Amino acid sequence: MRRSLLAVWLVLLAGSAVRAENVTPIRSNGPSSNRIDVVVLGDGYTASEMAIYAADAETFIAGLFGQEPFLEYESYFNVFRVDVVSSDSGADHPSRGVYKDTALDAAYDCSGITRLICVNTTKVNEVLNRSLPASQRELVIVLVNDPEYGGSGGAVAVTSTHSSGVEIVLHEVGHSFGLLADEYDSSPPACNNTVEPAQANVTRETNRNLIKWNAGGGPPAGWIELSQPVPTPVLTPGVGLFQGAKYCTTGLYRPTTDSKMRSLGRPFGPVNVEQLIKRIYNAVYPVDAWTPEETTLQAAAGDVVSFSATVMRPRTHAIGMAWYVDGVLAGQDGRLEVDAAGLSGGAHQVEARGRDLTPAVRSDPQRLLERPMTWTLIVLSSLFEPLDFSGRKVLNRNLLRGEYIDILSWKENPRNENVGGYRLYLSEAGGKRLLARLDVGAFEYRRRGVGRDSAATYLLHAVTPEGMEGPPAAVTVR
Amino acid sequence: MFTIRLFPAVILAAAVSLSGQVPAETLEVTLRLTTPGFSSTALTTVRPSSHRLAVRSRRFTAEPPPVERSAELSEERIVVAGCDGEGREVVRMTLPDPRLLRAEAPDEAGRLSTRLLYRAEAEFTVALPADAETAVLRIFHPVWDGRSFGLVLLAEVRLEDDGRMAFFSMKKERVAGEIAFHPERSGTLVRVTERGWKATSRDRTRSLCFQTIDCHTVGEAGR
């Protein structure tokens, strides 16, 4: 730990020497530990163009979250804008002999492809490392200040400010974030229809019961209506099995006639949306936090214990909650109050499940859309005072001298269900003093060496196995 | 004064985080994956199979590492496994393959086409739980065979205790092991296919750290 703290201190020292770029949260929806953090870096924006960059970034992000499923789940994301300042405005176009001095070295004509923009990933990493922790950059997007169509995909999505920029990035996010395949059928890359693809949105399977987006052979878990022919003729509405996908004109199939993974400007389509939502839930729990944080709780019979869930908030639907006490449904709201008086003494299980009930996800075998929580609630038994608590003072004579003893006795109260023992106190001015802890089978106590003329008041409590005291029985011995 | 004011804040953040369910601190390690024989800016159309991995920098932060609830694999991602000094796997995560560059564009008719390119040199940062005592990082590339993913070891790097940064190189023929994942149970290791070493117990097949890689130190990393 000491070494860790030293390292943090060293980082801070180093950080003060190299000035980090200004970072502005432009969507703040919650803690990064349960959000997907998007980082936008600008390239080719000069110091005097920072306002333009801010506006471009806002337009871009608004476009990104203008389409499903990102529209519905926008609150699951944070977005940070990093103000990267370049010396020159624009980007390199080597084929035209145009070269600009920019912070991230954005260049068209990358690898001889006119519309491919490459950036220097080492410089991108250096900016990121100066600006944000690694845990706050799940999606990195570089916005290049050039209106000409261009971009690239991969670990870092790159786009120009061309009006198609949002579409390019959404398609690339479909790959890098959603793990989706291209649904278009043109080569290159080479077609390989000899094995089943790994991706969720392409298949070579033609048996409707085995198609990966048709779990159970159709609704409610699958997406292909029973009336839909399989394979499905092109231009047929709805989800089906459309031939031509992943660079193959035959032998591989896609879920819809067209989608964003096939053509820019189209919606993702139900199967891709389902996969993207599951990928969102790969990084985000549907419940932000639970209270109480402790998972083992104690309550006396008269206590009311409150439980609550702070749930995520999709745009148009709610996270469903279900609360169970000992396996019995006890509530479906964001909070639950358990009256311990209604429970027997001992351990009880309180379970909660928050689940996104969106109809956009029909099959979730890994239960990514769910977050369970379990508490153990120990209800302390009701206790009553011991019965017939009495005392007497006796003289105990021996060969040398006499000794006075207070002899206390009591009986077990049959109303007590669960007694772990007794505690005997001596009442004193301003309080009481513990004299003895007694086993559950004890029904007499002798206090030796008391004064002949003194009086003492004794308090006797029954105690649960967990240590909770019941009300006292009292006796004064003179 | 600047650092004196910030330092307690970082400690406080770590302490607050300690009370929750997440690790208090993250060890961020920035790595450089290079391909011998290629210039640093080269792009290739064939995925490189021989790499060197070096630590570029590392730092501790108070933020917890990102959550990954399901290690869904893809050929466009890499798997990073952290091993402790005893060879136990202490952390596993997936990241976008930093080598991959997708060149996609529509033609005049709006039809998309793509070319997949690979950077000969790529940098990326991994966020490790700081308390995991990671001694070695191993980088794997998932390969899909139509039924399951195999993990091909690309490279590994040792994180030196004394703060020095060393790197190891691996010969291609020694990177020929595959570890398979069940396709229906993403992320669950169920079998090992062997092409370069022998797994000797069932427990070992569950770890990405079990095999001994015969690698050799080739020098101190450049920065």
Burial class from Cβ neighbours inside 10 Å (0-12, 13-18, 19+) for residue A408 reads buried
A2: helix, strand or coil? helix
User: Is some CB atom of chain B closer than 8 A to the CB atom of A171?
Assistant: yes
Residue B8: pLDDT over 50: no
Cis peptide before A286 (omega within 30 of 0): no
Looking at residues A240-247, what average pLDDT do you find? Answer: 97
pLDDT of residue B213: 37
Residues of B in contact with A16 (CB under 8 A): 2-3
pLDDT of residue B223: 26
**Of A131-140, A383-392, B68-77, which gets the smallest average pLDDT?**
B68-77
Q: Are A252 and A203 in contact (CB under 8 A)?
A: yes
Question: Is the CB of A368 less than 8 angstroms away from the CB of B69?
Answer: yes
User: Minimal Cα–Cα distance from B203 to chain A, Å?
Assistant: 24
Interacting residues of B158 by C-beta distance below 8 A, sequence separation 6+: B135, B136, B166, B167, B168
Q: Which of residues 188-207 of A touch B (CB under 8 A)?
A: 188-189, 194-199
Element (H, E) at B220: strand B216-220
- The stretches of A18-139 forming alpha helices (DSSP H) are 50-64, 121-131
Burial class from Cβ neighbours inside 10 Å (0-12, 13-18, 19+) for residue A171 reads buried
- A323 secondary structure, DSSP code: E
Q: Which amino acid is at A371?
A: R
pLDDT of residue B24: 53
- B198 secondary structure, DSSP code: -
Residue B169: pLDDT band with limits 50, 70, 90: very low
Residue corresponding to tokens 């301003």: A430
User: Minimal Cα–Cα distance from A391 to chain B, Å?
Assistant: 50
Rounded Cα gap, residues A392 and A446, in angstroms: 10
Dig out the tokens for A158 from the structure.
Answer: 């790159």
pLDDT tens readout for residues A51-60:
999 999 999 9
Residue B167: pLDDT over 80: no
Q: Are A311 and A355 in contact (CB under 8 A)?
A: no
**Of A18-22, A178-182, A226-230, A416-420, which gets the smallest average pLDDT?**
A18-22
Residue A89: pLDDT over 90: yes
pLDDT of residue B41: 83
pLDDT of residue A381: 73
**Count of beta carbons in the 10 Å neighbourhood of residue A297:** 18
Where do the domains of chain A lie?
A: 14-176, 179-264, 287-379, 387-477
**Of A15-29, A231-245, A319-333, which gets the smallest average pLDDT?**
A15-29
pLDDT tens readout for residues A391-425:
999 998 876 778 999 999 999 998 887 788 999 99
Looking at residues A211-231, what average pLDDT do you find? Answer: 96
Looking at residues A362-388, what average pLDDT do you find? Answer: 91
Mean pLDDT over each residue of chain B, to the nearest integer: 67
pLDDT of residue B110: 66
Dig out the tokens for A397 from the structure.
Answer: 């004579």
Question: Is the CB of A154 less than 8 angstroms away from the CB of B20?
Answer: no
pLDDT of residue A229: 97
User: Minimal Cα–Cα distance from B196 to chain A, Å?
Assistant: 25
Residue B159: pLDDT band with limits 50, 70, 90: confident
pLDDT of residue B9: 31
B153 closest CA partner among B133, B169, B130? B169
**Count of beta carbons in the 10 Å neighbourhood of residue B200:** 9
Looking at residues A331-348, what average pLDDT do you find? Answer: 91
User: Minimal Cα–Cα distance from A110 to chain B, Å?
Assistant: 9
Rounded Cα gap, residues B97 and B122, in angstroms: 9
B146 closest CA partner among A198, A83, A108? A198
pLDDT of residue A187: 81
Least CB-CB distance to A155: which of B60, B96, B149?
B96
Range of the domain at B39: 25-220
Residue corresponding to tokens 């929806």: A29
Least CB-CB distance to A153: which of B2, B22, B102?
B102
Residues of A in contact with B73 (CB under 8 A): 198
Question: Is the CB of A366 less than 8 angstroms away from the CB of B186?
Answer: yes
User: Is some CB atom of chain B closer than 8 A to the CB atom of A263?
Assistant: yes
Nearest residue of A to residue B76 by CA position? A176
Looking at residues A368-377, what average pLDDT do you find? Answer: 96
Residue A19: pLDDT over 80: no
Least CB-CB distance to B64: which of A11, A33, A196?
A33
Residue corresponding to tokens 């079990």: B210
Interacting residues of B15 by C-beta distance below 8 A, sequence separation 6+: B24
Q: Do the domain assignments include residue B15?
A: no
Cis peptide before A231 (omega within 30 of 0): yes
In this structure, which topology does domain A14-176 adopt according to CATH? Collagenase (Catalytic Domain) (3.40.390)
Looking at residues A80-100, what average pLDDT do you find? Answer: 96
User: Minimal Cα–Cα distance from A1 to chain B, Å?
Assistant: 8
Least CB-CB distance to B67: which of A33, A111, A194?
A33
Least CB-CB distance to A176: which of B2, B76, B114?
B76
Q: Are A215 and A239 in contact (CB under 8 A)?
A: no
Residue B72: pLDDT over 60: yes
pLDDT tens readout for residues A185-220:
988 889 999 999 999 999 999 999 999 999 999 999
B136 closest CA partner among B93, B89, B187? B89
User: Is some CB atom of chain B closer than 8 A to the CB atom of A53?
Assistant: no
pLDDT of residue B13: 35
Residues of B in contact with A7 (CB under 8 A): 59-60
User: Is some CB atom of chain B closer than 8 A to the CB atom of A184?
Assistant: yes
pLDDT of residue B148: 84
Dig out the tokens for B209 from the structure.
Answer: 């750290």
Nearest residue of B to residue A8 by CA position? B60
User: Is some CB atom of chain B closer than 8 A to the CB atom of A138?
Assistant: yes
Nearest residue of A to residue B161 by CA position? A3
**Of A97-101, A160-164, A180-184, B153-157, which gets the smallest average pLDDT?**
B153-157
Q: Are B90 and B84 in contact (CB under 8 A)?
A: yes
First-residue to last-residue Cα distance in chain B? 30
pLDDT of residue A39: 97
Residues of B in contact with A116 (CB under 8 A): 101, 103, 105, 115
Chain centroid offset of residue A436 CA: 49
pLDDT of residue B217: 25
pLDDT of residue B210: 62
Bridging pattern class, strands A346-356 and B89-96: unpaired
Question: Is the CB of A129 less than 8 angstroms away from the CB of B74?
Answer: no
Mean pLDDT over each residue of chain A, to the nearest integer: 92
pLDDT tens readout for residues A104-149:
999 999 998 889 999 999 999 999 999 999 989 999 999 999 999 9
Q: Do the domain assignments include residue B4?
A: no
Say yes or no: do domains A287-379 and A387-477 share a fold: yes
Question: Is the CB of A33 less than 8 angstroms away from the CB of B97?
Answer: no
pLDDT of residue B180: 35
**Count of beta carbons in the 10 Å neighbourhood of residue A63:** 16
Residue B172: pLDDT band with limits 50, 70, 90: very low
Residue B175: pLDDT over 50: no
Residue A4: pLDDT over 80: no
Which of A33, A156, A204 is the best mutation test for B, with the most CBs of B within 10 A?
Answer: A33
pLDDT of residue A392: 95
Looking at residues B85-109, what average pLDDT do you find? Answer: 87
Number of domains in chain B: 1
Nearest residue of A to residue B162 by CA position? A3
Buried b / exposed e along A349-377 (16+ C-beta atoms within 10 A): ebbbbbbbebebbbbbebebbbbebebeb
Residue corresponding to tokens 């996908």: A245
A82: helix, strand or coil? strand
Rounded Cα gap, residues B204 and B89, in angstroms: 10
User: Is some CB atom of chain B closer than 8 A to the CB atom of A8?
Assistant: yes
Cis peptide before A220 (omega within 30 of 0): yes
**Of A226-230, A238-242, A345-349, which gets the smallest average pLDDT?**
A345-349
Which superfamily, per CATH, for A287-379? Answer: Immunoglobulins (2.60.40.10)
Residue A100: pLDDT band with limits 50, 70, 90: very high
pLDDT tens readout for residues B182-207:
333 333 232 333 232 223 333 334 56
Q: Do the domain assignments include residue B108?
A: yes
Question: pTM of this prediction?
Answer: 0.79
Name the percent of chain A lying above pLDDT 90: 80
Rounded Cα gap, residues A271 and A179, in angstroms: 12
Residue corresponding to tokens 């004299």: A435
Least CB-CB distance to B61: which of A34, A133, A265?
A133
pLDDT tens readout for residues A165-177:
999 999 999 999 9
Question: Is the CB of A196 less than 8 angstroms away from the CB of B147?
Answer: yes
Which of A110, A121, A185 is the best mutation test for B, with the most CBs of B within 10 A?
Answer: A121
Q: Are A2 and B14 in contact (CB under 8 A)?
A: no
In this structure, which topology does domain A387-477 adopt according to CATH? Immunoglobulin-like (2.60.40)
Rounded Cα gap, residues A151 and A117, in angstroms: 5
Rounded Cα gap, residues B48 and B27, in angstroms: 28
Q: Are B28 and B58 in contact (CB under 8 A)?
A: yes
Residue A243: pLDDT band with limits 50, 70, 90: very high
Rounded Cα gap, residues A377 and A307, in angstroms: 11
Element (H, E) at A461: strand A456-463
Complex ipTM value: 0.78
Q: Do the domain assignments include residue B75?
A: yes
Q: Give Dmax (Cα) for chain B.
A: 62
Q: Are B36 and B44 in contact (CB under 8 A)?
A: no
Distances (CA, A) of A300 to A328, A343, A345, A376: 21, 10, 9, 14
Residues of A in contact with B184 (CB under 8 A): 365
